[in-house]
Structure 1
Amino acid sequence: MPDRKIRDTPSPDGRPETDAESRTDAERRRRRAQFLRELAEARALRARVQPRRAKAARLRRAMRMRTFRW
């Protein structure tokens, strides 16, 4: 009885997938899901911070225009 079972579905490179490969694939999917959750959280944070950044840029632009000599 072999230690690794060979699955019926081949992997993308054409080789049959083993249990070890399916575990690493599951781990990859778990890490990817975690990354996407953190990315969404970072984007939400950036969206909340962005209005202040835009206001500061607007004030800097206005200051440059006031100090500009024609």
Structure 2
Amino acid sequence: MPHGEEQRNPGSRGVGDALDARDPQGVTGDVEDAQESDAARRRRRAQFLRELHEAKQLRDRVQPRRARAARMRQQMRMRTFRW
């Protein structure tokens, strides 16, 4: 008895059936959804980057010694960087 065949979950077959039942007009809807999701992804990414920048600024204000040491390390890296 091959255990890979017997241990499958029969309830997981519904995903493929739902894709096969889609009408031809649903394809254009998928393109629009993909474009909207791309725009939504860019908005979420921009929001995330704004919040990350704000958190870094807050950390620098709260821990000035650590921020100064990080700036010094960055300066040393840039000073010793070779093109």
For normalisation by structure 2, the TM-score amounts to 0.45
Structure 1 residue 51: deviation in Å?
A: 2.6
* 2:53 aligned residue: 48
Unpaired runs of 5+ residues, structure 2, are 1-15, 64-83
- Bigger relative contact order, structure 1 or 2 (CA pairs below 8 A, ≥6 apart): 1
Q: Give the distance between the partners of 1:46 and 1:37, measured in 2 at CA.
A: 14
Closer, same or farther: CA 40–16 of 1 in aligned 2, 3 Å: closer
The Cα RMSD (Å) is 2.4
1:9-32 Cα offsets, whole Å, 9 max, x none, are: xxx4122531x2111111111110
After superposing on structure 2, the runs of 4+ consecutive aligned residues of structure 1 that deviate more than 3 Å are 52-56
- Is 1:29 the counterpart of 2:34? The answer is yes
Q: TM-score, normalised by structure 1?
A: 0.52
> What runs of 5+ residues in structure 1 fail to find an aligned partner?
1-11, 60-70
Same amino acid, percent of matched pairs: 7
Q: State the number of aligned residues.
A: 47
